[in-house]
A and B are shown apart, each in its own frame.
Chain A
Amino acid sequence: AQSVTQLGSHVSVSEGALVLLRCNYSSSVPPYLFWYVQYPNQGLQLLLKYTTGATLVKGINGFEAEFKKSETSFHLTKPSAHMSDAAEYFCAVSGKDTGRRALTFGSGTRLQVQP
């Protein structure tokens, strides 16, 4: 079984401030982890993913995330927020050997960027 918990349904930061969106996962098998972004009334776009190898993963638009197995976490960060980062962000997990090969999503975090 897999699950994802995103702490904080809403996060507000000032433009230029650090962005930190939290994600903790539960998986009985080695996980594959993903962060997606969604703008209003649109589909989801992949920001970054962790499958194997380096635990610090860099993605698009200056975002990065670090896989910490001991903490079962995959938090998303960006050093300096931009107004265009305002959107909803979803963390997702997929297990390598699970019979159900679908991504399981967290409930999402809406990021607000204040000028």
Chain B
Amino acid sequence: DGGITQSPKYLFRKEGQNVTLSCEQNLNHDAMYWYRQDPGQGLRLIYYSQIVNDFQKGDIAEGYSVSREKKESFPLTVTSAQKNPTAFYLCASREETYTEAFFGQGTRLTVV
């Protein structure tokens, strides 16, 4: 089945550690996105990539980094510079600008 796979589903991080969230898609979509979801705030865009080896900052990129070495993969690293990383993270992909985005099942990150 085609879709987007995020792993792990739950992740715990100690303060000061970097962690990487995985996102893989087999939909052959060019564009991929990372969103952060907090209660009552909807989804906020962290980073996006429209093509391999290129990515752009979204609205809340500070404390995060990404790479896009393969079309299928768009991992997100939450660095120790992110002061409030506890949240639900959603990865999405999209074929073209006018189409809908498809979402993964999310990763819930908790700082312990």
**Which secondary structure dominates where chain A touches chain B?**
loop
Interface with A: B12-20, B42-50, B61-69, B71-79, which one? B42-50
Taken residue by residue from 40 to 59, chain B's Cβ proximity to chain A (1 for < 8 Å, 0 otherwise) reads as: 11111100101000001010
The answer to the question of B21 belonging to the interface, with a C-beta cut-off of 8 Å to chain A, is no
Q: Mark B77-98, 1 if CB is under 8 A from A, else 0.
A: 0000000000010101010011
Residue contact A96 to B42, C-beta cutoff 8 Å: no
Given the interface pairs A102-B58, A103-B101, the reply to whether A90 lies near B106 with Cβ below 8 Å is no
How far, in Å, is B55 (CB) from chain A's closest CB?
12
Other-chain contact of B43, A32, A45, A100, A105 (Cβ < 8 Å): A105
B105 with A107: CB separation less than 8 A? no
| Number of A-B pairs, beta carbon distance below 8 Å | 58
In the complex, A9→B108 CA distance in Å? 22
Cβ contacts A23-62/B at 8 Å (1 or 0 each): 0000000001010100001111110010100000000000
Q: What's the least CB distance linking A6 to chain B, in Å?
A: 8
B109 within 8 A of A: no
Chain A's nearest CB lies how many Å from the CB of B12? Answer: 15
Query: Could you say which of B31, B43, B104, B105 has the most chain A C-beta atoms within 10 Å of its C-beta?
Result: B43
Chain A residue with the shortest CB-CB distance to B31: A101
Q: Are B108 and A41 in contact (CB under 8 A)?
A: yes
Q: Which of B31, B97, B103 interacts with A43 by CB under 8 Å?
A: B103
Apart from A32-B97, A43-B4, list 4 A-B contacts with CB within 8 A.
A43-B6, A100-B56, A105-B35, A108-B40
